[in-house]
Amino acid sequence: MLLPCSLALIGATFDETERGRAIGTWAAATAVATAIAPLLGGWIVDHFSWRWIFLINPLIALPAIWIAYYHVPESRDPDAKPGLDWRGTILLLLGLGGLAYGLITSPISGFRDPVVLVSITGGLALLIGFVYAEHRSRTPILPLALFRSRTFSAVNLLTLLLYGALNGVFFFLPFALIQVHGYPATLAGAAFLPFTIIMAALSRWAGGLLDRFGARLPLMIGPAIAALGIGAMGLTVANGSYREFLVSIAILGFGMVVTVAPLTATVINAVPAHETGVASGISDTVASVGNLLAIAILSAVALSILDHELTRNLQNPALSEGVKHAIQAARGQLVIEPALTNIQGADRANAESILKASLADSIRWAMLIAAAMALSGAAAGALIPRRTRGSSGSPQSS
Residue 321 lies in a domain: yes
CB 29 within 8 A of CB 64: no
- Give the per-residue pLDDT at 107: 67
Final residue in a domain of this structure, among 96, 114, 140:
140
Instruction: Tell whether 212 and 342 lie within a shared domain.
Output: yes
Q: Are residues 135 and 158 in the same domain?
A: no
Domain count, the chain: 2
Strand 387-389, strand 395-397: pairing: antiparallel
pLDDT for the residue numbered 207: 66
Domain assignment present for 173: yes
- The pLDDT value recorded for residue 396 is 35
pTM score, two decimals?
Answer: 0.78
Write out the DSSP string of 174-226: HIIIIIIT---HHHHHHTTHHHHHHHHHHHHHHHTHHHHH-SHHHHHHHHHHH
Residues 129 and 276 in one domain: no
Residue 69 is assigned to a structural domain of this protein: no
CB-based contacts of 294, cutoff 8 Å, min separation 6: 163, 164, 165, 167, 168, 370, 373
Q: Which helix (H) or strand (E) holds 32?
A: helix 16-47
Grouping H, G, I as helix, E, B as strand and the rest as coil, residue 347 is helix
Whether 343 and 218 map to the same domain: the answer is yes
Same domain? 356 vs 304: yes
Per-residue pLDDT of the chain (398 residues; tens, 9 = 90+): 777 677 777 777 777 677 767 777 777 777 677 767 777 888 888 888 888 888 888 888 899 899 888 888 777 767 767 778 889 889 988 998 898 888 778 767 777 888 889 999 999 999 999 999 988 888 888 888 888 888 888 999 999 999 999 989 988 998 899 888 888 888 888 888 888 888 878 877 776 666 677 778 889 999 999 999 999 999 988 888 899 999 999 999 999 988 887 887 788 777 776 677 777 778 888 888 888 888 888 988 898 898 888 888 888 888 888 888 888 888 878 888 888 887 888 888 888 888 888 999 999 999 999 999 999 999 998 888 875 544 433 333 33
Inside any domain, residue 336: yes
Does residue 70 belong to any structural domain of this protein?
A: no
| Residue 58 falls inside a structural domain | no
In a domain, 62, yes or no: no
What does the pLDDT read at residue 391? 40
- CA-nearest of 27, 50, 41, 60 to 190 is 41
Please check whether residues 232 and 344 belong to one and the same domain: yes
Given 140, 158, 178, which residue is the final one in a domain? 140
Are residues 116 and 247 both part of a single domain? Answer: no
pLDDT of 267 reads 81
The verdict on 352 and 278 lying in the same domain is: yes
Q: Are residues 1 and 125 in the same domain?
A: no
CATH number at residue 323: 1.20.1250.20
pLDDT reported for residue 371: 95
Q: 179 and 133 in one domain?
A: no
> What's the CA gap between 133 and 25, in Å, rounded?
37
pLDDT of residue 317: 83
Instruction: Please state, in angstroms and rounded to a whole number, the distance separating the CA atoms of residues 382 and 376.
Output: 10
Is 214 found in the same domain as 132?
no
For 353, the 3-state DSSP assignment is helix
> What pLDDT is stored for residue 56 in this prediction?
83
pLDDT at 393: 38
**Is residue 68 in a domain?**
no
Q: Where does a domain end: 123, 140, 157?
A: 140
Residue 73 DSSP SS3? coil
Range of the domain at 133: 85-140
Q: Are residues 228 and 164 in the same domain?
A: yes
